[in-house]
Structure 1
Amino acid sequence: MVITTLINKGVLVVRVDGELDMHVTDDFRNTLDKCMDNTGIKEVILNLQRVEFIDSSGIGAILGRYKKIHFMGGSLCIVGIQPVVMRIFELSGLFKIIKTYPTETDAFTCL
């Protein structure tokens, strides 16, 4: 898994490439927490366009970041979900609490 982060218009954009499973969730969690803590940014776009697989630990890591951001008064949205990952999100119920958009551009217009 490769995680790329950038700040655009005061929003932290996190792009994940690869699998988000139990082997990498600690890295994912630590990277997001460090970026948010160091910058104070509370608006996050999580781009999963290149995520090919996610397991329950990946779902848990995303949910944990959502809760942290929500507690801080910010928002997290997800963009570019692939069909295989979308099915897991549907089963987990994440779509009920986390907004999703097709692209980063779409997400920026709604933040």
Structure 2
Amino acid sequence: MRDDSAPRTRQLRVYEHRGHTVLELLGEIDLVAAAEIGPALDLVTRRAGARIVLDLRQVEFFDCSGLRLVYRARARVLEHGGRLHLVCTHPMTLRVFRVTGLSRLLPPYPTPDAALAGAEAASGTL
């Protein structure tokens, strides 16, 4: 199901999955893509109590602009009392998260279902 309150861009698809808004980033996430994605990401992450899954599995290239998007999304979601889960499988993108320490703040999961199961296990709601 598509969330029409968030505009679609060439690098962002938004849909609902198990009560969470999934933000699926696509293709190359560089400075130009980040400028296009940023407003849509801000719209979704400013909602009070937002439950977000950020899915990077379809990302082919990810630079510091993408890292800034993820960090900003995490900060905004937490600021508004929500939760953000990261899905990422690309080895180079995972390396960027490890090197910068962001993987300690936002542990990556291989699928949206795994991210949600990990969150349920951590909160004791299984």
* Deviation sequence 1:3-58 (CA, Å, 0-9, x none): 11012232110111101111111222211222345x65511101111111111111
Any idea what SS the aligned residue of 1:24 has?
A: helix
Q: Would you say the 8 A contact 1:5–1:15 is kept in 2?
A: yes
Aligned twin of 2:96: 88
Q: Please say if 1:65 is aligned against 2:73.
A: yes
Q: CA deviation at 1:2?
A: 2.2
TM value normalised by structure 1:
0.87
Which structure 1 residue ranges, 4+ long, deviate > 4 Å from structure 2? none
Matched, 1:15 2:15: no
Higher RCO structure, 1 or 2 (CA under 8 Å, sep 6+)? 1
- What is the letter of the counterpart of residue 18 of structure 2? K
Out of 98, 105, 111, the residue aligned to residue 97 of structure 1 is: 105
Q: Which has the higher strand share?
A: 1
Q: Tell me, which stretches of 5 or more residues in structure 1 are unaligned? A: none
Of 6, 31, 35, which aligns to 2:44?
35
Matching of residue 75 in structure 1 with residue 83 in structure 2: yes
C-alpha RMSD of matched pairs (Å):
1.7
Larger radius of gyration: 2
Percent of aligned pairs sharing the same letter: 25
User: Under a length normalisation based on structure 2, what TM-score does the superposition of the two structures give?
Assistant: 0.78
Say how many residue pairs are matched: 110
